[in-house]
Amino acid sequence: MAAQADLAKLRANLGGVKNMQRTPNALFVIDLKTEAIAVREAQRLRIPIIGLVDTNCDPDGIDYVIPGNDDAMRSCALIAKAIGDVVAQGHAVFRAEEEKARQERVEQARREAEERARREAEEQAKREAEEQVAKEAAEKQAAAAAQAAAAAPAAEPAAEAPAEKAQEAPAARESA
């Protein structure tokens, strides 16, 4: 039972620290005496400290001092609510700017993808046109070769006929 209570206490006190991605931009402390370890750790990490300082606390080392009674519950609640409201407002502004920047990156990526697709389509069309021109040139060359081949056999028998007559003539002389 005691171990479960200790575990619950640790989760309540340190649960948010477990999931932190980076160090915080500021630390808000209500009672500097009670949270002396947190103040020393923030000073060591050079995290700005906003502190509610009572007459029984030393304000040295606190970056932003808020004079007030840290013993009165209503005083603490009022100051914590005011600081919380400002933080929430700043967080909303930050998230809006972050969302705007994300949308701009998405839009930029979309434009780049469209440009890349357009360039690839142009290059593909150019390659296809070059292939078509090469194909047509090859067809013309094949047709020219076929015409030359067709013209060459017709010329060869005519050239062979005088050669045959020339060969027949010496044979006729020998027989005579």
For 140-176, write each residue's pLDDT tens digit. 888 888 888 887 766 555 555 555 555 555 555 555 5
Alpha-carbon span 62 to 39, nearest angstrom: 8
**pLDDT band, residue 39 (cuts 50/70/90):** very high
Residue 143 to residue 160: CA distance in whole angstroms: 26
**pLDDT tier for residue 96 given thresholds of 50, 70 and 90:** very high
**Res 57: pLDDT:** 85
User: Can you say whether residue 64 is alpha, beta or left, with left for phi > 0 and alpha for psi between -120 and 50 degrees?
Assistant: beta
Residue type, 47: I
Domain locations along the chain:
2-109
Q: Each residue of 16-32: pLDDT tens digit?
A: 777 778 888 899 999 88
DSSP calls for 92-138: HHHHHHHHHHHHHHHHHHHHHHHHHHHHHHHHHHHHHHHHHHHHHHH
Length of the chain as a residue count: 176
- Give the pLDDT score at 59: 87
| Segment 137-142 mean pLDDT | 90
What pTM does this model have?
Answer: 0.53
- Distance (Å, rounded) from C-alpha 63 to C-alpha 45? 13
* Assigned superfamily of 2-109: Glucose-6-phosphate isomerase like protein; domain 1 (3.40.50.10490)
